[in-house]
Amino acid sequence: MNNNPHFEVLIVGGGAAGISIAANLRRKSRSVSIGIIEPSDVHYYQPAFTLVGGGEYRLEDTRRKEADLIPPGVQWIEDHAEGFQPEQQRVTLRGGDYVGYEYLVVCPGLQLDWYKVAGLNQTLGVNGVCSNYSPSHVTYTWDCIRGFKGGTALFTQPPVPIKCAGAPQKIMYLAADRWEHTGLKQADIHFLNAGAAMFSVPLFAKELEKVAARYRAQVHMNCNLVAVDGAARLATFEQTKSDGSKENITLKFDMIHVTPPQSAPDFIKKSPLAGTAGWVDVNENTLQHTKYPNVFSLGDASSAPTSKTAAAVRKQVPVVVNNLLALIAGQKLHATYDGYTSCPLTTSLRAVMLAEFIYAGKVTPSFPLDPRVERRLWWLGKKYALPRLYWNYMLKGRDWDIPHKEAYMERFLAS
């Protein structure tokens, strides 16, 4: 490979967004030269990690070789992106070289800030301290759940934004349902959320409060995990009181599922592409950079104010590709993203509540079914259909869509 290659379209990140962009773009244009910068040789279907931790899916079924997913005719640069020089239209690599581009798509995902919880790195994966957010430790979550003999189980959620904001409580429901099925009566379950509500959309927050109550889970808001002592089985939280003051509270645990703090990758934060919060600063509808018109961003690293899910990426991909091709052709950008995202909320080992919404938290179901109802149908979709659609359609660049409609929800609210 040329040490300093140049591409018409350069993609930073080979995860769900990056592979989908490359495949979709290649389907729509055979002539555009495309490069992907991605350091990892393994690709995970992360939406299934909750099911892996809950004992309902195998970790090996979430994993593919990155090389097998790179579309034909797309060049893979197996290195870390280290910095951006948008004025010179190039990206520097950790190995010391740089890659030039005419158009840039930035989608490296986000980073997990384990270090922000004191003691967490030292005890993760032992002492009953587990997390579905790490492929290295997700199977330990299942070990903790099936080995739990009673006592106190804590489930934490850090300040948003995070990947799939429903995931921290979904694993709690799977664990609680599992323990009920095994006849365990001595489970003292606590959900400790750094935020002020169960979910960002009030309609679903109200329903999730009922689910938590059904499992007799004690819910604590404005409680942010700041330290874990695994050997002593102690977790310390900073609790924000109604008057704005803060105090630390420490709870004993027999198991704790930790959702780590998350943020934009450091190399994004320190780049000229970042906005004030550290994310790649884009127009929320066109996903074009607010300063550099030949730069786009989508997925977890983007500043678009929506939940960071694979469902959001699926809707963002055709918007970016169509606007990119319009820009290349000297035309006006015409594709728009309305903030759609979806979160299949696993509320038991047999049912899912399908939360779908757009910007401003407007509920927009894709089906004429009340989304507040937990359904076996959505569980089957979560476990069997969505992984197949991910590997065989989304990552293959196929445009597939089911229109989401606010009118469906208006009908149910009016009835």
**Residues annotated as part of the active site:** 164, 343
Write the CB contacts of 356 (distance below 8 Å, at least 6 apart in sequence): 311, 340, 341, 342, 343, 363, 364, 365, 366, 371, 404
The three-state secondary structure class of 93 is strand
If you search the block for the tokens 């699926």, which residue do you land on?
Answer: 314
How many Å apart are CA 11 and CA 77, to the nearest integer? 10
Write the CB contacts of 123 (distance below 8 Å, at least 6 apart in sequence): 129, 228, 229, 230, 231
Q: 143: closest CA among 216, 52, 215?
A: 52
CB 251 within 8 A of CB 238: no
Q: 145: closest CA among 174, 170, 106?
A: 174
Q: Provide the pairing of β-strand 151-157 with 255-257.
A: parallel
Q: Provide the pairing of β-strand 187-193 with 151-157.
A: parallel
How many Å apart are CA 10 and CA 138, to the nearest integer? 32
CB 55 within 8 A of CB 145: yes
Helices (H) and strands (E) in the chain, counts: 12, 21
Query: How many Cβ atoms sit within 10 Å of the Cβ of residue 88?
Result: 10
CB 34 within 8 A of CB 8: yes
The three-state secondary structure class of 66 is helix
Using alpha carbons only, what angle is made at residue 12 by residues 86 and 288, rounded to the nearest 5 degrees? 55
